[in-house]
Amino acid sequence: MFRVLAASLPYLLQGAVMTLWLSAAAVGIGTLLGIAVGVIGTTVSRIARTIVTGYIFVLRGIPVVVVMFLGYYAFPALGLRVNAYVAVGLAQIVYVSAFVAEITRSAIGSVPANQIAAARSLGMRRPAILMQVILPQATRIAIPPLLNNALTAIKQTSYASVVGVWELTYAAREVVERTLAAFQIFLGVMVIYFLICYPLSLAAKWSEARLSFSQ
């Protein structure tokens, strides 16, 4: 009954590898970039804050597919010939970073003002306050939404197929269009995505339960 799926499995698993690469890049680099942008968005400089707010607003207001298309067509428009994976990968990194930046900004803002007052009262300066008081507490607050965001990013790598990037979803559609075994293949692919995502989903739920009790 699942003969077609079994036969196509090696091909699909290769697609899954590409999915994992794209996910790792989007989540890894996107999160780091987003944290940096988010921290910059909380500085004293009004210009910096405005730019970051604009960055977050624009990227969160458009669908990820459109951001991917923009990435895909931006490079040729600038005269650069870039691998489709790189173009779309970079686009997704930027997209993820906007959401992470918002999470970071929000987490930093959630650290009670009293904590900062206490640190200032000891004579601490802003860099030390940020590193020793704000970021450790903000990190705890940020972990559950960051994990959920990572989960979303992994699923969004499948949208790269719409732009023409070959990964698991693209491979699945190819096989189905060839063999017409829609149920087998797509259900099988759902299982593969589930196996990739579920551990992260559990981690996110666990972190929500554990870390929502502040010390």
Partner 1 sequence: MDHVAQTAFFLAAQFPKLLSGFLITLGLSAAAIPLALGLGLLLLAPRMVKNRLIAGLTVAYIDLMRNTPLLIQIYLIYFGLPVLGLYPSEFICGAAGIALQHGAFLVETYRAGIESVSQRQWEAARAIGMGRMKAFRVVILPQAMIRILGPLGNQLIILVKDTSLVSAIGVAELTMTGKIIIERSAASVEVFVAVALFYLVLTSVLGAALRIIESRLAERA
Partner 2 sequence: MMPHALSTPMIEVRDLRKSYGPLEVLKGVSFSVERGEVVVALGPSGSGKSTMLRCINHLEEYQHGEIRIEGTSAGYTTGASGRKPHSEAVNARLREQVGLVFQSFNLFPHRTAVENVMMGLIHVRGMPRRVARQMALARLDKVGLVEKADEYPAKLSGGQQQRVAIARALAMQPKVMLFDEVTSALDPELVGEVLRVIRQLAGEGMTMIIVTHEIHFARDVADRILFMDGGVIVEQGAPQQILSTPVANRLRLFLRRYQGDYMGS
Binding site for partner 1 (CB under 8 A): 58, 60-67, 69-70, 73-74, 76-77, 151, 155-156, 158-159, 161-162, 169, 172-173, 176, 180, 182-183, 186-187, 189-190, 193-194, 197-198, 201
- Contacted by 162, from partner 2, partner 1, none: CB < 5 to 8 Å by type: partner 1
Least distance (Å) between residue 210 CB and partner 1: 17
Smallest separation, CB 96 to partner 2 (Å): 27
Nearer to partner 1, 41 or 167 (CB): 167
Looking at the Cβ atoms of 137 and 158, the one nearer to partner 1 is 158
- Length in residues, the chain: 215
- Binding residues for partner 2, rule: CB under 8 A, are 114-115, 117-126, 128, 132-133, 136-137, 140, 214-215
For residues 116, 117, 123 and 125, what is the CA-based torsion angle, rounded to 10 degrees?
30
Question: Which residue, 60, 27, 53, 45, is CA-closest to 156?
Answer: 27
**Least gap, CB of 62 to partner 1 (angstroms):** 5
Distances (CA, A) of 204 to 110, 134, 199: 19, 22, 9
CB 58 within 8 A of CB 122: no
The Cα–Cα gap between 46 and 110 comes to: 20
How many CB atoms sit inside 10 A of residue 51's CB? 14
Which one of partner 2, partner 1, none interacts with residue 73, CB within 5 to 8 A by kind?
partner 1
Neighbours of 109 (CB within 10 A): 13
Nearer to partner 1 by C-beta: 35 or 151?
Answer: 151
For partner 2, the closer of residues 18 and 130 by Cβ is 130
The residues near 54 (Cβ < 8 Å, ≥ 6 apart) are none
Q: Identify whether the C-beta of residue 175 lies closer than 8 Å to the C-beta of residue 169.
A: no
**In whole angstroms, how close is the CB of 207 to partner 2 at the nearest point?**
16
Measured from the CB of residue 97, what is the shortest distance to partner 2 in angstroms? Answer: 26
